[in-house]
Amino acid sequence: MSWAIILPIMLALFALNMRLYLGILAAVVLYFLFFATMPLEIAVQRFIAPSQNASLLAIPFFVLLGTLLSRSGIAERVVDLALILVGRMRGGLAVGNILVSTLLGGLSASNLADSAMLTRMMVPEMEKRGYGRAFSAAVTATGALVTPIIPPGIALIIYALIADVSVAAMFMAGIVPGLLCALFLMGVSYLISVKRGYRPARSQAASGRETIGTVVGAWPALLLIAIIIGGIRFGVFTATEAGAIAVLLVIVAGVLIYRQMGARDILEAVFEASKSTASVMLIIMASGALGWVFSVEKAGVALADFITAQTSNPYMFFLMVNVILLLLGMLIEGTALLIILVPLLKPTLATLGIDPVHFGIVMILNLSIGTLTPPVGTVMLLVTNLSKTGIAEFSREALPFFGVLLLVLALVVLFPVLAIGL
């Protein structure tokens, strides 16, 4: 039961704002120093071993893809396309904000990157059109929650590696829940906009020439979505290959088609992506070592025995886990919870006959909701800081969106086909 001692120590280190990988490594080193009979060199080996997984190559490509998007001119064209589609609706700018998140979310791969970009891009424009700042911030933040669920979200890749399931399977599983989130969020945005009398973003319909021009201008983004989702779904190439091809297409579009990106932009994007990839890799490597400790200590088996002693009903298990995750998500960063809990809960999934891919989508959706909740919701803190919005105002405006996200979570739990049907 030594794992039960190092776990609260690790959580305390997270609460003190220590970096994720350092907190995890500290727990692993403590285990080897005080509880294990094995030499400390084993800890080093277990830390390095996860980095040898070839599937990890997908991460730098998709991180670089998200970094390049904001520099290539594709993001602006996607906004134009969204406003052509929904701009004449009441509250069209709010609905368009979420539509842009959905279109870009599957490409930027990070809800923080997505929310930072859209906060700077959309919140000032919404304010200019008469929308409240707190409402604009809430729409932007909740729309960004679609990002980790729709492929190629980094959370999908991390879960796949920790739970030892197919990255492609996780990508496919995220599509329907992600689109459901987008649809429900758009519906709430529309209803609130109608109630408050927010005007449409466009006073008249786009002409045929304008529509064709906008669609043609946004074709690289549409092609990227088709390549990433279609190519993986039909086995044309792997997730890593999809990322590499998508990066190449963005560079071609930014340099040759839109002429908004030069060699300096590409080098800066590579530098930023390298730092982000290094951060993600350190977390994955540290989590691999922690997972090995949990495995040696049979922590997952102990937790599985405890849970199955309470209930043998998979839905009761989901209810328990969701309540715990929602509470922990208010205090601890989502990636940390993913890393800690997946190795512990995985044996229970086999016992209760729960598909690990289905469980992964439920967990990622739950932890994404946690990024909206005080006191340490990362997306909430980022958006309120960038938009200069108070947390209390933001939370009040985000409440209806929070409610529909919980509804989608319940639907995905009750109807596994929504996650694993594809």
pLDDT grade, residue 404 (50/70/90)?
Answer: very high
Q: What does the alpha-carbon distance between residue 224 and residue 245 come to, in Å, rounded to a whole number?
A: 9
Q: What does the alpha-carbon distance between residue 40 and residue 289 come to, in Å, rounded to a whole number?
A: 12
Question: Which amino acid is present at 364?
Answer: I
Chain center to CA of 376: 16
Q: 161 and 360 in contact (C-beta within 8 Å)?
A: no
pLDDT tens digits for range 42-57: 878 878 877 776 667 7
Its pTM stands at 0.74
pLDDT grade, residue 128 (50/70/90)?
Answer: confident
Q: Which residues contact 244 (CB under 8 A, 6 or more apart)?
A: 61
Task: State how far the alpha carbon of 362 is from the alpha carbons of 87, 181, 358, 410, in Å.
Answer: 32, 12, 6, 9
Residue 109 pLDDT greater than 80, yes or no:
no
- Residue 260: its pLDDT value, please? 80
Two structure tokens written together for 342: 């997946």
- Is pLDDT larger for residue 131 or for residue 17? 131
Q: What does the alpha-carbon distance between residue 119 and residue 136 come to, in Å, rounded to a whole number?
A: 8
- Taking the CA of residue 199 as centre, how many other CA atoms within 13 Å lie in the half-sphere pointing to its CB? 10
Q: 174 and 395 in contact (C-beta within 8 Å)?
A: no
Q: Which of 417, 422, 419 is nearest to 159 (CA)?
A: 419
Residue 238 pLDDT greater than 90, yes or no:
no
Task: State how far the alpha carbon of 7 is from the alpha carbons of 26, 315, 341, in Å.
Answer: 11, 26, 11
Residue 376 pLDDT greater than 80, yes or no:
no
Task: State how far the alpha carbon of 181 is from the alpha carbons of 184, 254, 400, 404, in Å.
Answer: 5, 30, 13, 8
Q: Computed from CA positions of residues 390, 70, 330, 399, in that sequence, does the dihedral angle turn out positive or negative? A: positive
Mean pLDDT of 101-108: 67
Locate the domains of the chain by residue range. 8-33+40-420
pLDDT tens digits for range 335-346: 777 877 888 788
| Residue bearing tokens 């995890």 | 24
pLDDT grade, residue 110 (50/70/90)?
Answer: low
